[in-house]
Structure 1
């Protein structure tokens, strides 16, 4: 997967996420991730959603809400990059989002519906991009990133957090 992307299309930090993306085609990967999200979340008992494996760690619901929030942020970045907006975008502090997300009060069904809405929007967005748009590079968090790299990050970020949930929570 990394071999497809050129040097300068993403900060090395995102390499770990990009390498977990399962499909070469970004849109197919996002579709696959949507189904995987629904199936995985449906397999988790509702009573486990507020479980955290240690003090100061996010609950399962908070991890899922983090995926939703991050997708919103990254999809916005992809839109800006694809439209050739050269304005440098600031980063976001995920640890500030989580305690303000109210995630532990959401049901499984609400989290799934929210994710599906966001992911459907991301799929529609990435379908609209031409090859030229996918190759455009913008700047976020003081680092260069291409539009297509954002799509791989979305898919790989989900895969990363599912691995963590399986290893440490379930």
Structure 2
């Protein structure tokens, strides 16, 4: 299963760019490749750029990294809810509020990398445990329908998106 197998009704149009950025990899390949690429990317960011903002109200690379971690946890929680109780409706989350309260800039990059690796490994195991039928189940999050499998690809594509942003605007 790749993103080409997804129906446009399985996720909001806003997320199409994220889905497209995954390419033709399977879900499990995209999560594995994303783990290695994201870990390596953040380990290579020079320390003087860890708390850099390219504009006054923009997040730092550390805040972006923790945003990826937080979002992955939220997306996995949604996937778990929809896998275990189809037709569940869940609220959205305010990523700006999460970032403002994250204290990411007071943490070391090594600590953030360690947390990311643990979260991604847990995500991999969660999605690996889902049957083909479960991956097709859907629920509502933030007032929009989404499938379990689309949430997995969203995790992978969301990271790719933010790595590009950091590359273009921070480094």
Unaligned 5+ segments in structure 2 are: none
SS, match of residue 22 in structure 2: coil
RMSD (Å), alpha carbons:
1.1
Answer whether contact 1:46 1:107 (CA < 8 A) is retained. Answer: no
1:97 aligned partner? 98
CA positional deviation for 1:46: 1.8
Answer whether contact 1:31 1:123 (CA < 8 A) is retained. Answer: yes
2:47 aligned partner? 46
Moved over 3 A (4+): none
Partner Cα separation in structure 2 for residue 155 and residue 46 of structure 1: 25
TM-score by length of 1: 0.96
Spell out, residue by residue over 1:127-154, the C-alpha distance to the aligned partner (whole angstroms, 9 max, x if none).
Answer: 0000000011111011110000001100
CA positional deviation for 1:2: 4.8
How many pairs were matched up? 170
Unaligned 5+ segments in structure 1 are: none
Answer whether contact 1:2 1:15 (CA < 8 A) is retained. Answer: no
1:149 aligned partner? 150
The 5 A counterparts of 1:1-170 are 2-170=3-171
Spell out, residue by residue over 1:46-91, the C-alpha distance to the aligned partner (whole angstroms, 9 max, x if none).
Answer: 2210001010100110010100000000000011111133221000
Spell out, residue by residue over 1:15-60, the C-alpha distance to the aligned partner (whole angstroms, 9 max, x if none).
Answer: 1111111343111110100000111011111221000101010011
